Amino acid sequence: MQRYSRAAKSHHPDGGSSSITTLIFAVAAGLSVANIYYAQPLLDSMATDFGISSAASGFVVTLTQIGYGFGLIFIVPLGDLIDRRHLVVGQGVLSVIALIAVATAKTEAILFVSLAAMGLLAVVVQVLVALAASLATPAERGKAVGVVTSGVVVGILAARFVAGMLADFGGWRAVYLTSAVLTAGMVALLMQVMPRNLSPVSADSYISAIRSIPVLFLRDRVLLVRGLLALLIFAAFSTFWTALVLPLSAAPFSYSHTQLGLFGLVGLAGAIAATGAGKLADRGHGQAVTGISLTLLLASWVLIALLPRSIPALLLGVILLDLAVQAVHVTNQSIIFDRYPEARSRLVGGYMVFYSIGSAIGAIASTAAYAHAGWSGVSVLGAAFSATALLTWAGSRHVLRSEEAMTCTGTL
């Protein structure tokens, strides 16, 4: 089995990637991850079209997240083993096909299979994040991860506005057809900017690489805790954004899809404000950033719970929630990427499995909570996820502080 060193330095024959390439990676990542979240403001329309009940509508989002989870386990690790240029292009082409299948689905079965396939292929996002980290110089790695990750969050949040606007004009199917066209264009652009002959960074076999993922996370407490934090913060994130459409699309608000999408743009302020978290982690402030951000995440639910009494309070809560989630997410990735440089693709794949599980739990639990207890139930659920994340961090911070500073060699 291959040996991994936490102190190893990646070789950068070209001195790192350009800022333009990193920015293109960020845009491509945003477009790809948006495919998973387009459905959230469209749940009511899709449910009506296919006769799906409101309580079960969260399954549309959950199914996509399940596909995403399988992709993280079985596709992302390939980034350590094969030419990543071929991997990115191949996923992009297949994503275009899956998007067209979703847009033209006539039955629930075809819709669900296509959504799962779309989620499976959307993990190209994580291949791009790992690739950006590998191409960057050590001094620029935190910045590169922050930029690409910010593109991911912008894609998640902007997806709601874009999906809502397009749906108001052309129906929910127009959203996926438009994304198919944009994805095809982005694949062509990536082919122009990605370096050629991106040699594999690991000599492990595919089976060995897959097996090494749980070993890495079970043996390394930093990886495990950072993964658990990802699960909890994205469960809270998904709880809010999946359920938000339900009260705001009904009386007394009766907001249109475009109006609902504007809430995603409000969240961008918080997400963009958190892009510097990777730099702070590189300077040794990862623990402080995590603790402050998780406290803000819990506080955001106090404001979010004021819906429907106060829309301004809800908007402030959205900003705090997205700021906190993005800051913890960037910090997590900045820390884990430096622990085993030759296994970055499988590290991000394993880490994002926690993210996918959390998102799926939040999606299905939030719609069920709303059906049984209204918005108060959703707020309690989101606060519970957030409080658990804060307690997890508080209970492990002393161990993590010492282990994150370690540069000793680890083996599988």
Give φ, ψ of 5 to 5 degrees: -115, 130
CA distance 29 to 8: 27
8 A C-beta contact, residue 272 and residue 400: no
3-state SS, residue 232:
helix
- Label residue 169 exposed, middle or buried (CB < 10 Å: 0-12, 13-18, 19+): exposed
pLDDT at 304: 97
Amino acid identity at 124: V
The b/e string for 202-212 (b: 16+ C-beta within 10 A; e otherwise) is bebeeeebbeb
Q: Which two tokens stand for residue 306?
A: 């004021």
Question: In CATH, what number does 12-406 get?
Answer: 1.20.1250.20
Helix residue ranges, H only, 38-140: 43-50, 58-74, 84-103, 108-121, 124-135
Which amino acid, residue 407?
Answer: T
173-192 burial: b if 16+ Cβ within 10 Å, else e: bbbbbbbbebbeebbeebee
Walk along the chain (412 residues) and give the pLDDT tens digit of each residue. Answer: 444 444 333 334 444 567 889 899 999 999 999 998 888 778 878 888 888 776 666 677 778 878 888 898 899 999 889 988 999 999 999 999 999 999 999 888 899 899 999 999 999 998 998 888 888 877 777 778 888 888 887 887 788 788 888 988 899 999 999 999 999 999 999 999 998 877 777 778 899 989 999 999 999 999 999 999 999 999 999 999 889 988 998 888 888 877 877 887 787 777 777 777 777 877 778 899 999 999 999 999 999 999 989 999 999 999 999 899 989 998 898 888 878 877 888 898 899 889 888 988 998 899 999 999 999 999 999 999 999 999 999 998 877 776 666 644 444 5
Give the residue among 301, 297, 246, 331 at the shortest CA–CA distance from 47. Answer: 246
Cis peptide before 195 (omega within 30 of 0): no
Domain boundaries, the chain: 12-406
| pLDDT score at 402 | 66
d(CA 150, CA 271): 7
Residue 203 half-sphere exposure toward CB, CA atoms < 13 A: 4
Taking the C-alpha atoms of 187, 124, 330 and 263 in order, what is their torsion angle to the nearest 10 degrees? 70
What is the pTM (predicted TM-score) of this model? Answer: 0.78
CA distance 115 to 101: 9
Under the phi-then-psi rule, with left for phi > 0, alpha for psi from -120 to 50, and beta for the rest, what region is 408? Answer: beta
